[in-house]
Amino acid sequence: MLRLDDSIFEYALYDVLNGLEAQQQAAVELDALRNEWRATGLRHVDLYLALDLLVSAESLVSPRPGAWQMTEAGAERAALVATVSAPTMADQVARSVLKLIRERVPTGAHPVRSATTRRRAAARVRVRELSRPGQL
């Protein structure tokens, strides 16, 4: 199985936030993020990884459960990712991988999930996280 670099998830989430025109003062709800995330071609559970990465990098904060808000640093980074004029090699690789994934996954391949399916997926993620060695 192919292991994607974390930067790909970060780029995808920044693209999603830019697509939603996320503002520094406004919270973005999880449902809105999920709807936009489908267009990336990445797995649904990868959204949670991307959210964790950006929260750890202090680009996002969670003012309440199920909502995220960009910090000043996050807004600057999102603008930089959206308007990069001289991309680094890492930028080019991440963009290429995201483009390839989008091309390979048909548009209708990710149907809207029911609330029950989302709860089951979230439960599986929690179980996996709790079963990792060294975690309490």
Confidence of residue 46 (pLDDT cuts 50, 70, 90): confident
Provide mean pLDDT across the span 18-43.
88
CA angle, 95 as apex, 94 and 98 as ends, to 5°?
A: 85
| pTM of the predicted model as reported, rounded to 2 decimal places | 0.65
Q: Specify the 3-state DSSP secondary structure of 73.
A: helix
Q: Specify the 3-state DSSP secondary structure of 43.
A: coil
Confidence of residue 3 (pLDDT cuts 50, 70, 90): low
What share of the chain has pLDDT > 70, as a percent? 69
What is the Cα–Cα distance from 117 to 123, expressed in whole angstroms? 10
